[in-house]
Amino acid sequence: MSKGNSTRITDELHDYILAHNAPLDAVQRELVETTYARLPDQAVMQSAEEQGPLLAFLVRLIGARHIVEVGTFTGFSALAMAQALPEDGRLIACDVSEEWTAYGREAWAKAGVADRVELRIGPALDTLRAMPAEPHIDFAYLDADKVNYVPYWEELVPRMRQGGVIAADNVLYGGGVVDPDATGGAAAIRKFNDRVTADERMESVMLPVADGLTLSRRR
């Protein structure tokens, strides 16, 4: 049985990939470096550098005007997506931390996109449930607490317009998803991945980007 591409992503090859992607602009680069410098223990939660250009590409590709992000941290992914929106586009960023998102607020202002980002502090499930129930979201990025991925999914899917896309991060969970006896976050992601695969409302593809990225399109 074919195991597909066996290319191992070394540090050198990763650098090569970054060199052949759209480069981070000055504000994006500063935010990435600031996150690692000031929050070294939490910086692993930041979306991978190559995901910024990818998210921006997807936003432009589908012509998104209304984005919802579940899990913002210091705002790198929100920054990349907001910059890809048209001037009248809107991104609702959901997070629970005033401290972490303060870095994002500063970066969004520096980049001139603060007016496109509405930060909502509080449990994301509450934020999602307070949104209009009808389909209105063009693009959603899910990168928050893993135990709630399935509940987030169930709130997002009915609100996605036809052709709208959900991008879910960390779907490989460091490889832990292949363990049938997984617990904690790995078990939650296993459950989420199975739910996505079985959901006939969406068509989905799992990609080995960073820690795994699933793209799902509303039928």
| Structure confidence by residue, pLDDT tens digits, 124-154 | 999 999 999 999 999 999 999 999 999 999 9
b (16+ CB within 10 A) / e for 16-54:
eeeeeeeebeebbebbbebbeeebeeebebbbbbbbbbb
- In the sheet with 117-121, reading across from the earlier edge strand, the strands are 117-121, 90-95, 66-70, 137-142, 160-169, 213-218, 202-207
Tell me the whole-structure pTM to 2 decimals.
0.94
User: Residue 208 sits in a domain of what CATH number?
Assistant: 3.40.50.150
Reported as a single tens digit per residue, the pLDDT across 28-38 is: 999 999 999 99
Q: What is the pLDDT of residues 62-104, one digit of tens each?
A: 999 999 999 999 999 999 999 999 999 999 999 999 999 999 9
Q: Report percent pLDDT > 70 for the chain.
A: 97
Is 2 part of a structural domain of the chain?
no
Domain carrying residue 30: 11-218
pLDDT reading at 6 higher than 80 = no
Q: Does residue 105 sit within a domain?
A: yes
Is residue 190 in some structural domain? yes
**Would 3 be classed as within a structural domain?**
no
SS3 89: coil
114: nearest Cα among 219, 27, 211: 27
Per the structure, how many domains does the chain have? Answer: 1
With respect to residue 41, please indicate whether it lies within any of the assigned structural domains: yes
Q: Average pLDDT in the 94-123 region?
A: 97
Exposure string of 61-94, with b = 16+ CB inside 10 Å and e = fewer, is eeebbbbbbbbbbbbbbbbbbbbbbeeebbbbbb
Q: Kindly report the backbone phi and psi dihedral angles of residue 73, in degrees, each rounded to the nearest multiple of 5, phi listed first.
A: 55, -120
Contact criterion met (CB below 8 Å) for 122 and 96: yes
- How much is the pLDDT for 9? 85
Residue 174 falls within a domain, yes or no?
yes
Residue range 163-212, pLDDT digits in tens: 999 999 999 999 999 999 999 999 999 999 999 999 999 999 999 999 99
Given this model, what pLDDT does residue 5 score? 64
Span 146-166, pLDDT tens digits:
999 999 999 999 999 999 999
| pLDDT for residue 2 is more than 90 | no
